Structure 1
């Protein structure tokens, strides 16, 4: 029987990072992945492929609508969805091969198959050919991730009634895509097909899109996406989804309780994700789950069985790839006797629509509910020379600071390259910077980042210089 110091079950951004860090720290490490390629949901059917399609569709949209403004005159462009999907697959292939290279480089043993506990220290690997192998591991890290959540009354045929996985592999551009769910996944994939010419209708149960983010971001993104042609039906609860040939009918009730019907050729169900623990054999190891089916852990991500840890989407918290990676690193270092920590308040969130949306820290709504006295600074992207030069004038940056201490408590932004700009806010808040600190730092001109300086200056009460 093969013996390892640490075995990681799952090779997504949490699992493979945990395995690499364990190996770097001198542990004999194994990783178990049920699919033939490494990388988990993020690299194969999530973050990476969706961003590839978002970039391709954005190029097409610009060619069709914006090139002329820049003096670039071309014939009417045509979208080759098959080539876009093929390019997406090439990007995924390159990325997953990179993970395999890192496994080899760090001398990590890779098992292809389903890993399930036989006991707290023994794991059986059931391979695709049906053969099995049992390994012994002093420590185990569960990193099995999540799967798309399905509403119980919806039958996913994965042809016309689809999840995000199938949306990345469509053979045609939908004529009318109905998106159930106004969160990150639904809006990103809705944006892809809207840019390519689909009619896109979003049906959201809550009274706003991206409901977990700051209300100002939700309002602005709604406005911008409506301007792009996306349709929204908020406070609308789906009752049923039926397919008849190539037509799919969604029946729902609006906020007045009246029935509304939407018809399209595809329905994307994007109502969130659920932790994936199927086949793990947690009961044999004695590992507890919580009321939502997540692996229960303490503040060190340790389960009730002391040598078993869990990270990423399978535990409580935001389902974000970078959060999982941080947790994987932390657990590896904890096993090594180090004392790492994660400040979950400073894990940024991003929506990769265009303009992008990004945030870190607490929202205005959260801080007011907590009774914290705050001051707010805002700066519109359209006031920047860089934004006017590129034509990306939608959005703003909002800085929230403590009224007494001036410490930055939250930063919320929507605009070009917000996904990259948010890193400045994360660094600032990690070092507990004040709004005045940021306002006094020199920012290169002309850049989008100048909006961060101006919003911080506005938060100090001195007012922004360029608005």
Structure 2
């Protein structure tokens, strides 16, 4: 039987990063993955493939709607080759997961293919082509999450699908009904809207992206309506039924009236649930919460002292980069170091176009907590860079403490917001004030000038270009 200092169950961003950091710190490390490729949901059926399709569909939309204005003329009709688009997406996935294979070899990490389950607190059974058993001084549970469903929906994975199937459809839907107005539903909805689908979004809460700042929600709603999405908030779905090639969704609106929607595909994107199926956690004595999460303390340690858990399977936002930070945190903790994670400064991003990104507290949270704050906002359309690229939608908002001027939250929607948010994270990590950001020279013309201007607006309303 092979023995290890650390065994990691699950090879998503949390798991494989934890494995690399453990190996760097001199620990003999094994990683266990039940699927044939490494990388977990994010690399295989989540972050990476969805961004590939978002980019491809964005290119198509630009060719159809904007190239002529740029002076680019394409003779003949512009057509979508969905098969090639999906093929390119898969090539990106294959290259990325292959990169993880390389990193495992480079760091001398043993990879086991099969379902890892606890025999006891220090032994793991791996059921793959053959059944193996390994011994581990420490184990990190990194088994991730799966798409959630509503109890009355029968996911046939043909017409009534999750995000996994939506990434590999064989035809462009005529009418795609999206249940859920969060990041996953909106991103995939935008992919197919660009390709010509009619798209209807049904959201239970009273706005899109309900966990983010309300101002971002209002702006994104405006952008999506302009793109002719049908947006239906405050709707509670009651039934989803397939009849041949038609899907019928019934919901109650906020007045309690029944509304019916008909389409040829329905994407169910109502969040994700922790995945511990087959883990046999009870054999190791590991406690799960009533929500199915692995229970951990502030050190990400379970109730069994040599077993830790990270990523989507524990409390907190289900984000790949949060899982990565937790993977490094546990590895360094095991090595006797004193790492830290500031969960307030883990950014959230929606990769629609315009992109939506945020870090820190929302206005709603600050009001609820009774914090005195000031706000500065700057529209993207006031930037020369935005006019040059024709990306005029959106804004940047900076929230700062009314007395100390320390930045408490930054919320942005606009071109490249997913990249721009990193500046806000750096500033807040070092407890920057709005004035600190406003005094930093930002290259001109760039989108990030909007952050400087919003910081100026929060500092005695001193924005220069509005």
TM range (shorter): over 0.9
Q: Where do 1:313-462 residues align within 5 Å?
A: 313-462=312-461
Shift of 1:462: 3.6
SS at match of 2:120: coil
Q: Answer yes or no: is the 8 Å Cα contact 1:254–1:260 preserved in 2.
A: yes
Q: Which residue of 2 aligns with 1:108?
A: 109
Cα deviation code 1:339-366 (max 9, x no counterpart): 0000000000000000000000000000
Q: Which residue of 2 aligns with 1:92?
A: 93
Is structure 2 residue 127 aligned with structure 1 residue 126? yes
For 1:289 and 1:190, the matched residues in 2 are separated by 34
Q: Answer yes or no: is the 8 Å Cα contact 1:359–1:413 preserved in 2.
A: yes
Q: Answer yes or no: is the 8 Å Cα contact 2:376–2:461 preserved in 1.
A: no
For 1:267 and 1:218, the matched residues in 2 are separated by 23
Q: Which residue of 2 aligns with 1:14?
A: 14
Q: Which residue of 2 aligns with 1:246?
A: 245
SS at match of 1:332: helix
Q: Where do 1:16-415 residues align within 5 Å?
A: 16-74=16-74, 75-127=76-128, 129=129, 131-415=130-414
Q: Answer yes or no: is the 8 Å Cα contact 2:359–2:425 preserved in 1.
A: yes
SS at match of 2:444: coil
Shift of 1:123: 0.3
For 1:71 and 1:112, the matched residues in 2 are separated by 52
Shift of 1:371: 0.2
Q: Answer yes or no: is the 8 Å Cα contact 2:118–2:280 preserved in 1.
A: yes
Shift of 1:116: 0.3
- Structure 1 runs, 4 residues or longer, greater than 4 Å off: none
Shift of 1:76: 2.8
For 1:377 and 1:7, the matched residues in 2 are separated by 48
Q: Answer yes or no: is the 8 Å Cα contact 1:181–1:202 preserved in 2.
A: yes
For 2:78 and 2:225, the matched residues in 1 are separated by 23
SS at match of 2:69: helix
Q: Answer yes or no: is the 8 Å Cα contact 2:210–2:217 preserved in 1.
A: yes
Q: Answer yes or no: is the 8 Å Cα contact 1:64–1:76 preserved in 2.
A: no
Shift of 1:230: 1.0
Shift of 1:291: 1.6
Q: Which residue of 2 aligns with 1:2?
A: 2
SS at match of 2:48: helix
For 1:344 and 1:80, the matched residues in 2 are separated by 42
Cα deviation code 1:190-244 (max 9, x no counterpart): 0000000000000000000000000000000000011011110110010000101
SS at match of 1:70: coil
For 1:257 and 1:462, the matched residues in 2 are separated by 44
SS at match of 2:138: strand
Cα deviation code 1:237-267 (max 9, x no counterpart): 1000010110000011100000100000000
Q: Answer yes or no: is the 8 Å Cα contact 2:381–2:391 preserved in 1.
A: yes
Cα deviation code 1:142-201 (max 9, x no counterpart): 000000001000000000000000000100000000000000000000000000000000
For 1:414 and 1:84, the matched residues in 2 are separated by 27
Q: Answer yes or no: is the 8 Å Cα contact 2:180–2:203 preserved in 1.
A: yes
SS at match of 1:31: strand
For 1:81 and 1:265, the matched residues in 2 are separated by 17
Instruction: Count matched residues.
Output: 465
For 1:238 and 1:67, the matched residues in 2 are separated by 40
Cα deviation code 1:432-463 (max 9, x no counterpart): 00000000110000000000000000001142
SS at match of 1:79: coil
Shift of 1:5: 0.3
